[in-house]
Amino acid sequence: MTADKYQAAALGHCHKATVLGNVIAIHMLEYIMAATGHHDGLNELAHDFLDVCRIMWSIEAGLVEYTRSGQSLPVEMTQELDRKFNTAYTDFQGLDHWLSRSLSEERGGPGKKLTRSWRKMFVGNEIPKMRSALGRTRESLRMSALMFQWSLGEAKIDESLGIGYTALSAALERLERGSSSKGSVKGSPAPGSSHRKEHADHSQVVEIGLDEHISPTNTLVLPRTNTIRSSTSGPPAPFSLRDDHAPRIADLHHQEPNWASLGHMDAPRRRTPSHHTDTVSTRSAHSRTTPPSDPPEDLRSGGLAELDNLGLSDNDYTHELKPSKVVRIPVNPAKMPRWVPRNSVGADTPSLKLNLIVAIRERNSKAVEQLLDRGVPANIGPDHHALNEAIRQHDLEVVRLLLLFGAEPNAASNQAVSPLVAAVEEGFLDAAAILLKYGADSNLPPASEHDSPFALATIKADTHFIRLFLMYGADVNQITADGETILTKMITNKCLRTLIDMILNYGADANGKSKEGETPLFRAITAGRVDILSALLDHGANPNLPGPKHMLWPATYQPKCLQVLLHRGADFKKTSGIMELATSINKIDSVSVLLNAGVDPNAKKDGVYTPLCSAIRDNRADIFHLLLANGADPNVPASEFPCFKCVTHNRLQFLPHLVSAGGNLHSPKGIAETAVQFDNMEALAWLLDNGVSPNDQAPDSKATPLTTAIRLNKPSFVEVLLSRGANPNVRGQDWPVCMAVLYPVILKRLLPALAQPRAFKGVMEMAVSANKIESVKLLLAAGVNVEDRNGGVFSPLTTAIRERHKDIVQYLLDEAGADPNSPGEHLPIVKALRRYEPPDTEIIEMLLRKGADPNKVYRGHSAIIQAVEMGDAHILRLLIEKWGVDLDAIDDTGRTPIEIAEMRGWEEGKDILIRGKKAV
């Protein structure tokens, strides 16, 4: 920890003690004024306390100066000072506790006499103990204080003395002067009197200095006195009223010292009739008030009294509210009372502004009044907003004083909080009423992108503030910071119907839209507030105004709102498809309301969806039967026909009812195929039982139930269809047998039902292409020719070679008797060479073993020519070794194999060909 940090900590503790010392000085002065008689030694105790206070203030002033100039004391010294400051603070706490207890007993009335008498038996021991503790503290700090006094000078230290110290010192000096002038008390002044004033005029009122020291820290949160938030039972405020009728201290020139005589410094106080705050009244005289154009009215009669007459101050206000009663109160801030400070010279200083905030936070209205009267501005700036601070303290008296002395009621703090906003946040209705009388604007946001006080009150649904602002000209059609209207915001916040009625009665636009284009009707419907919906319609809301969509659309979710809208003129013809929406969201009550209003049960939404199909889709039997009973057409299609919808969504229970209502199972065709496609065996059986043909083709795909069952590899459906009369010779998207080659199990069941399997050309090649050797065997067993070409070109053998299905090639050559020299796409041996992947020659060797001729020319090509073109010596030797070579064979260009080899420069191939010829 650095020396600067130690010094800052010590300074903070010193400041804490001096602040408490100032408070104790005020309490001690209050006790002197309130006491019926003073205790022995109280005078000496007060002087000892003042001595310690002056020492503490001199040290604090020195530490502040050192800190300001960047100097640092030794760490050991600051640590020792810090310890002494804590000791002084502890002594001050004990003294403050004793004073507070004594003050409480003095103000307790006759019932406290016994307690006071009892304590007097022990008080003699308390004062000496406190004097002894203060004496030790004074001696321990004296040398440190002298060091700073030498460096700063007495004048600098005197400037730092607090209000309480100055007041107590002046009072004690006046008492001592009165005693000495009579001659009853002789001798030297009491210890510590060296710092008191040397002369005073006995005929003048005691004036309390207001030059408070500047706090070395930034905090303004100081310990509060016992007067905080009290107006009747707490100790009186320590400062006298600064008006022309201020009471004066009695002339003590020819009297004994009398502590009680100082009690007349306090002015009489009265209770303010406000149930929102505890406060004392302002001054009764208006001798320095600037005269308005008309005689000023009392603040209560001009502001809060009107609220009382309207019931705004009653606890049961919400229940007694009559929203139909519109009250508007004219405001003329120029006619409100204004007070002019007595003096403004030198008052606009940071220290006095700081003192004003401190006094406000301590709810010390008399100190506030004196500071304002001395010229401290009521508008001290946005950093420390005096009016906002008074509102946060719920101190109506200080609010009045600040406004009287010219506080700006619309000025915002640097946190974007205006006085009216603060009043709303604090729930301080009385303060809001006075602010409005002084010209506060409830429609004025404290800053951009912030809500106005009226908008804030509506957001909080504070009935009292809303009514108050409305009476004083709140704009009910303003837009909140987030782009809402007052009505939409209130509805969203679930406010009472009475509040909505009130806003509407004050002229709110029932059709006004938010920045999102939402109307109050839309918000009321969305929230399900039938009461607010009715209120809006009663005040001219248009049920057909889109905001952002037609009101019937959101009302479909709220059947009661829907019924009100239809009854109040909403046009359902502008919302085609609303019946389907009600069905889709499963709102049978809304469906009933719409049917009763005459909405067509067959009207489509988005030109596609019908209510009946949506009810089937969502399995809503109640809505399904309600629609059929009210004329829904079972043959009006949506994305599909109602009967088809029952099949695709497995709603077989609805099919009989649709048929009974006129549903047509035969138009369009394909419902049985749909049942197969959606794997709905139960629906297929029901349809076949009710006369649907198993051979009907779907209109679009031309698929039959059988071909769909084959395509989807559903043997059970194939079995049922064939057993129920499905014809395997009827083409669907393809011939059933051609499709069945992919599924040998289905093919095996299908072939016996075919009269002539050989009639379907190419079926064998299809089986080979599908690599289904089982299907090949089944087809051969059924009599299909092994050389049956697909499209007259593709033979089973060449297709097997092309697809490299070696097992099928071997089967066709060895078992089925396929001709190795019968061309398909080409000669099998040529096809094998073209599909050759080194070093695999298995298919080539199989063909050669079965008699494939490499010298046979087909379409200008032979296997020998193919091998020469490939330039593969190994393949060329393999072919020649089996068959030799025909050197006279020519290709489609008329060239022989040797000529082709010579043109390519392939000498090795040429030699192989020549030797092959010789071998022959």
- Residue 485 dihedral angles phi and psi, to the nearest 5°: -85, 165
Distance of CA 715 to the CA centre of its chain: 58
Do 256 and 357 have their domain in common?
no
Residue 573 tokens, joined: 């013809």
Asked, for residue 698, whether it belongs to a domain, the answer is no
Which residue range(s) make up the domain with 73?
Answer: 3-208+231-265
Question: For residue 481, what pLDDT is reported?
Answer: 92
Question: For residue 35, what pLDDT is reported?
Answer: 66
Cβ distance 582 to 601 under 8 Å? no
Asked, for residue 551, whether it belongs to a domain, the answer is no
Residue 138 tokens, joined: 């004074």
Neighbours of 816 (CB within 10 A): 18
Domain endpoint, select from 442, 475, 508: 475
Nearest to 347 by CA among 376, 373, 324: 376
Asked, for residue 345, whether it belongs to a domain, the answer is yes
Do 175 and 311 have their domain in common?
no
Asked, for residue 392, whether it belongs to a domain, the answer is yes
230 exposure class (CB count in 10 Å sphere: 0-12, 13-18, 19+)? middle
Asked, for residue 40, whether it belongs to a domain, the answer is yes
- What's the pTM value of the predicted model, to 2 decimals? 0.60
Domain endpoint, select from 419, 445, 475: 475
**DSSP states of 604-668:** PBTTTB-HHHHHHHTT-HHHHHHHHHTT--TT--SSS-HHHHHHHTT-GGGHHHHHHTT--SSSS
268 exposure class (CB count in 10 Å sphere: 0-12, 13-18, 19+)? exposed
- Computed on alpha carbons and rounded to an integer, the radius of gyration of the chain in Å comes to 54
Asked, for residue 529, whether it belongs to a domain, the answer is no
Do 327 and 454 have their domain in common?
yes
Contacts of 685 (CB under 8 A, 6+ apart): 720
Asked, for residue 109, whether it belongs to a domain, the answer is yes
Do 245 and 304 have their domain in common?
no
* pLDDT tens string 2-46: 777 888 888 888 888 888 888 888 888 777 776 656 567 788 888
Domain endpoint, select from 440, 456, 475: 475
Do 304 and 258 have their domain in common?
no
Do 261 and 337 have their domain in common?
no
CATH number of the domain to which 846 belongs: 1.25.40.20
Residue 351 tokens, joined: 């220290």
Q: At what angle do helices 621-629 and 588-596 cross, to 10 degrees?
A: 10
- 3-state secondary structure (DSSP) of residue 289: strand
- 3-state secondary structure (DSSP) of residue 17: helix
Q: ∠ at Cα 50 (44, 52), nearest 5°?
A: 105
Question: For residue 194, what pLDDT is reported?
Answer: 37
Asked, for residue 914, whether it belongs to a domain, the answer is yes
Do 257 and 313 have their domain in common?
no
Question: For residue 154, what pLDDT is reported?
Answer: 59
Question: For residue 768, what pLDDT is reported?
Answer: 96
Cβ distance 356 to 372 under 8 Å? yes
Name the residue with tokens 């782009």. Answer: 483
* pLDDT tens string 399-437: 999 999 999 999 999 899 999 999 999 999 999 999 999
Question: For residue 178, what pLDDT is reported?
Answer: 61
Residue 271 tokens, joined: 């209770």
Question: For residue 81, what pLDDT is reported?
Answer: 84
Alpha-carbon distances, residue 757 vs 147, 706, 763, 788 (angstroms):
127, 17, 9, 12
607 exposure class (CB count in 10 Å sphere: 0-12, 13-18, 19+)? exposed
Do 344 and 251 have their domain in common?
no
Do 240 and 333 have their domain in common?
no
Residue 236 preceded by cis peptide, ω within 30: no
Do 376 and 237 have their domain in common?
no
Do 14 and 82 have their domain in common?
yes
Do 259 and 315 have their domain in common?
no
Residues of the chain with pLDDT under 70: 1, 34-39, 107-125, 147-163, 177-324, 345-347, 918-920
* Domains in the chain, number: 3
Q: Per DSSP, what are the bridge partners of residue 485?
A: 479
Residue 668 preceded by cis peptide, ω within 30: yes
Residue length of the chain:
920
